[in-house]
Structure 1
């Protein structure tokens, strides 16, 4: 081999060369010089408009700054071919159009010191200028005092004619109030940047993320976003939508149904207010989703994200992450928004303290509702606390079994201690039995044990059989909407009260009042209102999957209706109302009309409500909502009669809602007369006495355990609960004695 042969070595790509290798040995050829303004502007544009989503973010912020209440966005090829945003804001004055796209032209900033009090989204005047250097930009705008709209075309920050040979000045045109900005062929003169985008669908997904963030945050502003050529919209929110409705529309009901609110502020020391919504322990996904707004500007914060994930690590399973919407307002003089070209990041004082305060508040809220997490449990004694089976529906409106308890690091003082162990002997077990061992009434039988033993659940007088009927999967949108309506009206504090209460006793059967203890407080509860809502929610949860109560021998609907009419007529007369011939005619015809209505709909009643009716009008079964409890069958005639005029049979959703409300009213315990005073001659009917004892047993051992396990307390139930005593308050009274 000839060693004298020379081989050419190929220099690898990316190798740094010295000045001499590059032919720049002479110092005269390396003088510093100013870049061409066109190069400067393109560099600046590349820093601010990195992708179509950044251009859209700037345009959305400008539209909101202009007082818009409606923003429409049209996208083609992921925003690279077309990006159009139309608003109904103040518009741009025609005299300002010549300098609209020049760099650092703004109506929001005059002096550098104004940065310390900036309260708008945009302020530097770079967005439109940057876009005009890397795309074809068209602006159509109309102010309120302008007789017509004006259209202008821009390139490299200057006005240009729409077609060669025409004038570059803005031209009058037809248009509505507000501004429409059209960006075409984004990055047409930066081929390297344009080739970097892999697919239009990815860019469109990023655009939807930006639109979704501002659609959630900007209350009072309607947003819509669609692809060019599509008939439907990808995002659409109304200006009147609440924040939780916006979250539901954009991120889905799975998120919206599990949100809890938080609110915290420290305006004196840290100068901030924070509010928002975060998911509870029932919801988790593979990736943390944070919608963070600082002074109403969508930003990112790695420190807050890490702190939030650390906060949730004790509440969620391994690998689970939360959803959070956080609206953080900080005094403007504590924030520097001018630290990132796209304003994606901001700096603010006391960052660590503010983040810790927010996470601490979220942690506190999670600890209060962490009891909503579901667990499979075994009751201590079979039959004492009947826990309903956990529902399979993901959107069920009830909260099943809850786990409670103070934080391990939280010190418990003596005046906060309450006996809640169900195994401890209750005072009622020390009272002797004052009733015979068995009472029989129309609703079943009641049994009590000997003094000193724990009372067992009352025998309901029924024999239960398990059938092989498969559970129906109810996918009706009307039922889902009714369930969601219950969730939207949920009152967290009241739900927590019912889920952790200890039943104290029955106070008044006539007014339907019971006493409950929650924590160190004593409450009086209208159990009539409470159980009406409870049975309505059971109706929604178990819709189409009720048990059945067989009636043997089966009564006829017509006979039951006549009994119901007699009851209505008696109440009509006892109230002092004078019955007219028209009233009597209604009373006479009602049984046949309502019977015919129910027979015509007997297939639907059987499938959804377990009410089986024969063609001849015999009532074979009624629904069983809660095992161990039988409603007063004396209320059955009136319940059936009310199914005619009080159920809206014309609309599916209203039909289900009104029917379930009537069913809940039927299942709600009836009012009982005041017990006799004990005077001579005042003897109570045996059937009423039996029902009184049975009701007391049912409330303690069946109904309120069910409420504790399943009730989602709505705001309407605030009128049903009154606080009457607070242990800590009583301690202070005793200390003064």
Structure 2
């Protein structure tokens, strides 16, 4: 460094300096007490974080006051105007002067009273905090008072409504109860006011809060609306029961699928009452209304335990509705752990949650075994009621007994019988006569059609399932969920198989509700097997070959087929080189194929096993050579996600039932012999094709379609393969015009 270079005394931060060059440290700052105004605003900001928190405090105070009717009016999400009116016992005029001072309460006298507190509010901070960050006015009247009194507050003290007027409460006309009005919330904290996104979002939170207390507080009516708006966001009458309150707030779809249970334990000092949705109700997110000692709180532990309990009853991605009210011995609960009392701590939390979840599981299990469905009665016996309950049957299992056994059901009364022209009935009874039984018998559909002609022998192992933690597979599963088409998924999950229409074009007919659809089952099954590949990733069964098949021979067969199909262009490709390249590629990646897909390839190039995607159905081995050949150029072996996606797509294509030629015509054509007489021309079908036709028909009806019904998430791309051909309601309208 040059000697004449000047060094500045104030070096930038991070510059190295010698010890003797360090400037003297500044003197330590003195500790000072904050001004009371700053203290009050900090306390208010901790308790009142948003308009919904202010309303929560006011609602709880109103319920504590013995109110049976609460009316809430909101403007601009509660930031501009928030008013709650109740018909409780009111506030004495003598108490109005200290109403908004901090730590003034009628519910707590000594610290020991915290161990037995049984009310909502007890700290005396709600109104005090609101008065420091908003313009607050209170109108109240007790039963003994001859008039109502109105008082205005600012910074915890009485304030005049207008400059120059007295701050003392003024007598006015009013009904018994209390009305609290909060205006210009956070007017003196602009940073907090700017943090709110929109008024509609805050109003939605207010509706959610009012809905929670409307469900829980039986015997209290609730209403909530925007100021100047004729429509009411929440309206619950005082006489409504718990189920009716849930129906008003959360809809009939939830209320009609509720199960009630109770649990209690003297040792752990708690009682519990709950209304939960059964396995018939599925939502996109969990709705948990949790009340502990009648206070609305949140608990991530309870929510997680409840969701784990429902995991055995709901499909993946389905969530329940739970309203849970816990009464715990107040001495075991610490409610003073959160500024807004949103969280509470209580003793023996794990034991209490375990008892509740066990009772919940038992209640759901009882309901799950007694579901009933509505079915259309058979037309062969007019004495059978039009609508009868149907017993549960296992999908794909033929029901036993004659259909006439159901004629013993006693006719219902006239008041319980539906109208005879009901056009919303759906045939879901597997024992009912199908349309295919009315068609002329076909030689290929003889008495052996229903026999089990799957010649596979299954061997079961005790291998534990391997959890999938690969991000690429999780992303592929998420793509399926994002592309889900809800209406088509419902149709597939509730459909009734009608029959195969065309085996060559791979078209089948299914009934969904009161509609009839033609489905491209080739496209449908391709998507199904792809989803099975993602769901069962790294946990496949295996189809073993004994003896193993040489890869080179299989690839050579596929190469010869490709060469013949390509015509003259096929002569330009060195197919021997292609065969060797694909063979080497599969051998080099045999560890990956074995670990993730149960596809075993020996070091010598022999195929020992293939992944098993579904029991009861064997894919066509004639498609095996092309499948193996396509694994070379059509699988992205360099990218993890692309590799898994493309490989499973090829595997799904291999599993899709092949297109079969149409059966021989019926009746067979005739020719004229040399004597001029007619001679029947017999067209014999290959026995192998006949056997394969039986296998595919059985697998489609009894194996793959039932599996799609249980597992398939129908995506939007499948809409191209589904066509509606009949609608019962539309046919009724046509016949009505005739």
Q: Which residue of 1 aligns with 2:596?
A: none
1:302 pairs, out of 300, 303, 308, with 300
* CA 1:545–1:52: 2 relative to 1, 3 Å: closer
Residue deviations 1:567-598 (CA, integer Å, cap 9, x gap): xxxxxxxxxxxxxxxxxxxxxxxxxxxxxxxx
Q: Which residue of 1 aligns with 2:246?
A: 247
Give yes or no for contact 1:398–1:541 (8 Å, CA) kept in 2. Answer: no
* CA 1:22–1:544: 2 relative to 1, 3 Å: farther
Give yes or no for contact 1:67–1:90 (8 Å, CA) kept in 2. Answer: yes
Q: Distance in 2 between matches of 1:286 and 1:307?
A: 18
Give yes or no for contact 2:374–2:388 (8 Å, CA) kept in 1. Answer: no
State the 1:455 CA deviation: 6.8
Aligned length: 408
* CA 1:5–1:99: 2 relative to 1, 3 Å: same
2:277 pairs, out of 279, 303, 306, with 279
State the 1:107 CA deviation: 0.3
**What pairs with 1:437-516 in structure 2 (closer than 5 Å)?**
457=404
Q: Which residue of 1 aligns with 2:150?
A: 151
Q: Which residue of 2 aligns with 1:25?
A: 26
Residue deviations 1:119-168 (CA, integer Å, cap 9, x gap): 11000000000000000000000000001000000000000001111111
Matched, 1:532 2:479: no
* CA 1:5–1:359: 2 relative to 1, 3 Å: farther
Matched, 1:37 2:36: yes
2:339 pairs, out of 338, 341, 361, with 341
Q: Distance in 2 between matches of 1:5 and 1:205?
A: 64
State the 1:31 CA deviation: 1.2
Q: Distance in 2 between matches of 1:260 and 1:538?
A: 27
Q: Distance in 2 between matches of 1:333 and 1:315?
A: 36
TM-score normalized with structure 1 length: 0.51
Q: Distance in 2 between matches of 1:362 and 1:139?
A: 44
Secondary structure at the counterpart of residue 308 of structure 1: helix
Give yes or no for contact 2:373–2:389 (8 Å, CA) kept in 1. Answer: no
Secondary structure at the counterpart of residue 34 of structure 1: coil
* CA 1:319–1:372: 2 relative to 1, 3 Å: farther
State the 1:402 CA deviation: 3.9
Residue deviations 1:41-100 (CA, integer Å, cap 9, x gap): 100000000000000000000000000000000000000000000000000000000000
Q: Distance in 1 between matches of 2:388 and 2:106?
A: 52
TM-score normalized with structure 2 length: 0.51
Q: Which residue of 2 aligns with 1:218?
A: 217
Q: Distance in 2 between matches of 1:198 and 1:536?
A: 55
Give yes or no for contact 2:101–2:128 (8 Å, CA) kept in 1. Answer: yes
* CA 1:22–1:399: 2 relative to 1, 3 Å: farther
Q: Which residue of 2 aligns with 1:433?
A: none
Give yes or no for contact 2:136–2:180 (8 Å, CA) kept in 1. Answer: yes
Q: Distance in 2 between matches of 1:166 and 1:137?
A: 16
Q: Distance in 2 between matches of 1:398 and 1:263?
A: 32
Q: Which residue of 2 aligns with 1:199?
A: 198
* CA 1:422–1:403: 2 relative to 1, 3 Å: closer
Q: Which residue of 2 aligns with 1:184?
A: 183
Q: Which residue of 2 aligns with 1:370?
A: 368
Secondary structure at the counterpart of residue 539 of structure 1: coil
Q: Distance in 2 between matches of 1:375 and 1:256?
A: 18
Give yes or no for contact 2:393–2:399 (8 Å, CA) kept in 1. Answer: no
Q: Which residue of 2 aligns with 1:75?
A: 74
* CA 1:25–1:357: 2 relative to 1, 3 Å: same
Q: Which residue of 2 aligns with 1:734?
A: none
State the 1:284 CA deviation: 1.1
* CA 1:422–1:159: 2 relative to 1, 3 Å: same
Give yes or no for contact 1:137–1:182 (8 Å, CA) kept in 2. Answer: yes
Give yes or no for contact 2:234–2:249 (8 Å, CA) kept in 1. Answer: yes
State the 1:532 CA deviation: 2.1
Q: Distance in 1 between matches of 2:421 and 2:84?
A: 47
Q: Distance in 2 between matches of 1:546 and 1:195?
A: 55
* CA 1:306–1:35: 2 relative to 1, 3 Å: same
Q: Which residue of 2 aligns with 1:228?
A: 227
Q: Distance in 1 between matches of 2:24 and 2:191?
A: 27
Give yes or no for contact 1:272–1:328 (8 Å, CA) kept in 2. Answer: yes
Gaps of 5+ in 2: 14-21, 427-738
Residue deviations 1:266-286 (CA, integer Å, cap 9, x gap): 1x2011110120001111111
* CA 1:538–1:311: 2 relative to 1, 3 Å: farther
* CA 1:458–1:340: 2 relative to 1, 3 Å: closer
* CA 1:89–1:185: 2 relative to 1, 3 Å: same
Q: Distance in 2 between matches of 1:334 and 1:269?
A: 12
* CA 1:250–1:401: 2 relative to 1, 3 Å: farther
**What pairs with 1:529-678 in structure 2 (closer than 5 Å)?**
531-532=411-412, 539=418, 543-545=422-424
Q: Distance in 2 between matches of 1:135 and 1:23?
A: 47
2:314 pairs, out of 291, 313, 316, with 316
* CA 1:223–1:58: 2 relative to 1, 3 Å: same
* CA 1:310–1:36: 2 relative to 1, 3 Å: same
Give yes or no for contact 1:281–1:373 (8 Å, CA) kept in 2. Answer: no
Q: Which residue of 1 aligns with 2:96?
A: 97
**What pairs with 1:395-474 in structure 2 (closer than 5 Å)?**
402=392, 457=404
Residue deviations 1:199-234 (CA, integer Å, cap 9, x gap): 000000000000000000000000000001101211
Secondary structure at the counterpart of residue 172 of structure 1: strand
Q: Distance in 2 between matches of 1:73 and 1:398?
A: 47
Matched, 1:84 2:83: yes
* CA 1:364–1:168: 2 relative to 1, 3 Å: same
Secondary structure at the counterpart of residue 532 of structure 1: coil
Q: Distance in 2 between matches of 1:91 and 1:532?
A: 56
Bigger relative contact order, structure 1 or 2 (CA pairs below 8 A, ≥6 apart): 1
Q: Distance in 2 between matches of 1:6 and 1:540?
A: 101
Give yes or no for contact 1:398–1:537 (8 Å, CA) kept in 2. Answer: no
* CA 1:401–1:82: 2 relative to 1, 3 Å: farther
* CA 1:456–1:240: 2 relative to 1, 3 Å: closer
Q: Which residue of 1 aligns with 2:660?
A: none
Give yes or no for contact 1:372–1:401 (8 Å, CA) kept in 2. Answer: no
Q: Which residue of 1 aligns with 2:330?
A: 332
Gaps of 5+ in 1: 13-20, 392-396, 405-420, 424-453, 461-505, 507-526, 548-737
Q: Distance in 2 between matches of 1:38 and 1:76?
A: 28
Residue deviations 1:218-277 (CA, integer Å, cap 9, x gap): 0000000000110121110100001101110110001101111111111x2011110120
Q: Distance in 2 between matches of 1:249 and 1:456?
A: 42
* CA 1:459–1:111: 2 relative to 1, 3 Å: closer
* CA 1:399–1:98: 2 relative to 1, 3 Å: farther
Secondary structure at the counterpart of residue 273 of structure 1: strand
Q: Which residue of 1 aligns with 2:64?
A: 65
